[in-house]
Amino acid sequence: MSAVFPQPQWFAALGELMESEGESFRRLGYAETRFAIKVLPENGTGNEQVVGLEFDGYRLKEARALSDVWAFQPDFVICGKQSIWQRMLDEIRSDGRPHLRHTLNSLVLVGEELWLESKDQLQEDKFYRYNQTLQEFFNLASRTQR
């Protein structure tokens, strides 16, 4: 895979792996959510990168770069600096999953390294409802090239 995180093509490649792992995702349950990943520059210099993702059932329906995150109407946005995302992905590539304190759920619950943005608390709740599906989706990065 030549695409790199957080390019939409990188997420699309994970989406293809997700479809090939269908039974694993079916065991986790149906996920219907639109959300965005916002990758912030390290020292406040440079542009943030935002990708919109839509899960429909047991598959990734869409992955696209966003210039206006709220026009995409996401349920929630997961935000964090590039280094935090990279640490999680490095651990996934090394060990098949991130260390316990570096999962999406753990990092968002603490709210310092990753955090959620949302315009509606009920929509934001979809992160907590589907976080295991989201984590397993990211864990598919262990099967990709760097």
Q: Is residue 75 part of a domain?
A: yes
**pLDDT digits 0-9 by tens, 45-79:** 789 999 999 999 999 999 999 999 999 999 999 99
Q: What is the pLDDT of residue 2?
A: 77
Distance CA 141, CA 146 (A): 9
Whether 146 is covered by a domain: the verdict is: no
Structural domain includes residue 92: yes
Amino acid 136: pLDDT:
97
pLDDT at residue 22 above 60?
A: yes
Rg (CA), the chain: 14
124 by Cβ neighbours in 10 Å (0-12 / 13-18 / 19+) ranks as: middle
pLDDT at position 68 is: 97
Token pair for residue 36?
Answer: 């965005």
Q: Which residue has the higher pLDDT, 44 or 116?
A: 116
In a domain, 3, yes or no: no
**Residue 145 pLDDT > 90, yes or no?**
no
- Bridge partners of 76? 35
CATH number at residue 51: 3.30.1050.10
What pLDDT, on the 0 to 100 scale, is given for residue 146? 60
How far is Cα 54 from Cα 59, in angstroms, rounded to an integer? 9
Instruction: Tell me what pLDDT residue 44 has.
Output: 77
Q: Quote the pLDDT of residue 130.
A: 98
Query: Does any domain span residue 135?
Result: yes
Note whether residue 35 is domain-resident.
yes
- Section 86-108 average pLDDT: 95
pLDDT at res. 13: 96
Q: What dihedral do alpha carbons 117, 122, 128, 133 form, nearest 10°?
A: -100
Structure tokens at 146: 């760097």
pLDDT band at 112 (very low <50, low <70, confident <90, very high): very high
Asked whether residue 82 is domain-assigned, the answer is yes
Q: What is the domain extent for residue 96?
A: 8-141
Helix 121-139 crosses helix 82-95 at what angle (to 10 degrees)?
40
* Rounded CA separation 39/60 (Å): 20
The percentage of the chain sitting over the pLDDT mark of 90, rounded to a whole number, equals: 90
User: Is 2 within a domain?
Assistant: no
